[in-house]
């Protein structure tokens, strides 16, 4: 007999456990960017920043820690300048490529 598992008993998925290095972070952000959803990008950057240490990312980006939390919360729509500064602090950059039809 197969034991039934309740959804509430499953461990919560934490993406940060699957982002061990800069390459994994860059690949994750590439997938998120393909969704073309600014809120998803803000959430992903916030998740990565929290995993790396929000205070450290705030200092490296030149933004206040509280402002960073606010800009990178789920459903936020941060300015491009903020996204660019956070990406630089994380050691990744946004690149353009040809869109396929």
- Least confident interval from 5-9, 21-25, 52-56: 5-9
- Taking only the tens place, the pLDDT of each residue in 22-39 is 899 999 999 999 998 888
- Is 25 part of a structural domain of the chain? no
Q: What's the CATH number where 58 sits?
A: 1.10.260
Q: Which conformational region is residue 75 in: left (phi greater than 0), alpha (psi within -120 to 50 degrees), or beta?
A: left
CB atoms within 10 A of CB 20: 9
Q: Is residue 62 part of a domain?
A: yes
- pLDDT of residue 46 exceeding 70: yes
Q: Which domain holds residue 77?
A: 32-95
Q: Are 82 and 94 in contact (CB under 8 A)?
A: no
Q: What pTM value is reported for the model?
A: 0.80
């Amino acid at each position: 007999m197969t034991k039934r598992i309740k959804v509430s008993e499953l461990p919560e998925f934490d993406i940060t456990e699957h982002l061990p290095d800069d390459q994994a972070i860059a690949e994750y952000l590439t997938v998120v960017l393909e969704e073309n959803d600014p809120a998803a990008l803000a959430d992903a950057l916030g998740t990565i920043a929290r995993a790396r240490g929000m205070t450290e990312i705030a200092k490296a980006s030149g933004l206040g820690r509280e402002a960073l939390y606010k800009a990178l919360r789920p459903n936020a729509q941060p300015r491009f300048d903020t996204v660019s500064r956070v990406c630089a602090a994380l050691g990744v950059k946004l690149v353009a490529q040809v869109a396929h039809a």
